Amino acid sequence: MKKSAVFLILSFVLLGFFACQLAIPKAIEIIGTPSARFAEEVAVGKMFVDLLKDAISEKDDLTMIPCTNEKIDIVTYLIHATLLDQLFDMEDPDNPKLPPDLGGDFNESHIGVMLHEDKTLIDGTNPKDYMVIPFSELGSFLPGFKFYHGGSVNKKGEEDKDGIYETKLYFSGSKILDDAKLEIEIFEINVDDDGNITYEEPALFSEKDVPVSDDESDFKKWKVGEETDGYEYKYDGESCPSGGFPIDVEMNGKDLAVSYRVYFSAGTTVPLDHFQDGNIKVEVVVWLPFKFIAIDENAALSFPPGSFFSSEDDLFGREEPDSDSLIADIIESISVDVKFHNNPFMGADLIISSNGGIEIHNLIENEWLSFTITDDNMKVINDPDNWPFIPEIQIRYAEGQTLAFPNVFNAIEFAFKAKVRYRIDL
């Protein structure tokens, strides 16, 4: 209903009433503080988890697997990728001879080959063959954060191991791996404005002459469902799968490139029966709890657009900068409270911002997110130059503070209170 129509109806009703009292007022002023409180469950945690999942799993060769163990309180995923799955052939098992390009000699018993120099079995050192673990998209949702990797100590003097990520390589499929060694490097990826890619030196992680053991990740056992409907994956362990070669590398919001080589070192004697037909497989598994630590003063979490308010329209319904809005005209201030179950934002700073330099701060000290749009804020909001008013919600963290997404993280109650004052001249 248009503002003018509202005024007209009110005027007739009020005039009729006061005419009966033989006194007609010159104006009517409405003052009060109406409020509303209602329960509604909004899966805010799922919004963030979905954004983080989408950011990490943008590559088709990565599989993100939810960890469903009830003892795990923090949202946790396994990231799995197969770097290599290659058939290894021996030319003629009944007439053994030196495999091509090995450049060695038969030993005295004629059942093995002694190598004169290092020989590469699996080569993943060309940049086009690097395995990329994409974390850079996280920066748009969690600027100023990196994945938490322990190091803090609780009041009992014990190291806090909650939410520590872990990365492992698994090799499997052939006995020939028992004779091989691993060389691995992990680089941060830098991309300039023109899309050119470089790999930051020195490597974040570098190891050589690492023994390789035949050790699968059991990836196939995590399948759920029927092939005809498309498999899903779930993992019920309490920690990263056992076995594998652990890699201690920092995950700080940049894409990571994995360069690796499986080789025989000079002087190695490889038994001929190890060259039997087999499948050589290399896998990467990342145990990834969604726990982060702020690494600078600008660390912040931004709520997805439309979490609580419309992400497209002015909050007070104004279609144009000069549009009339009865709501905006009568409201002097607004208080909004959102109650969370299992609030992960304790100790952080809630910031509401919009056009016109509006920035409202509130320290989060309990299970509520609370903020007030003051009288002065409303004056700025009502300025046509600051239209539209679309609140952006951000949680700012001090350097060193941690943020963990609990498995259950929902908004469960909303409360609104408005201070209203409006005068109608009759």
pLDDT top residue among 380 and 329: 380
> What per-residue confidence (pLDDT) applies to 69?
92
Query: Is it the case that residue 222 has pLDDT exceeding 60?
Result: yes
What confidence category does residue 164 fall into, taking pLDDT thresholds of 50, 70 and 90? confident
Model pLDDT for residues 321-358, shown as the tens digit of each residue: 887 776 677 888 888 888 888 888 999 999 988 877 88
pLDDT band at 20 (very low <50, low <70, confident <90, very high): very low
Q: Which residues pair with 300 in a beta bridge?
A: 396
Could you report how far apart the first and last alpha carbons of the chain are, in Å?
A: 20
Q: Are 418 and 331 in contact (CB under 8 A)?
A: yes
What are φ and ψ of residue 18, in 5° steps? -75, -25
| Structure confidence at residue 15 (pLDDT) | 38
Q: What is the mean pLDDT of the chain?
A: 78
Predicted pLDDT of residue 4: 42
CB 374 within 8 Å of CB 381: no
Which residues in 260-269 are b (16+ Cβ under 10 Å) and which e?
A: bbbbbeeebe
- Distance between CA atoms of 257 and 249, rounded to whole angstroms? 11
pLDDT at 162 over 70: no
What pLDDT, on a 0 to 100 scale, did the predictor assign at position 10? 38
How far apart are the C-alpha atoms of 410 and 341, rounded to whole Å?
Answer: 6
Place of tokens 């308010």: 309
Average pLDDT rounded to a whole number, residues 198-206: 90
Amino acid type, 317: G
What are the extents of the domains in the chain?
30-47+300-396+405-425, 76-292
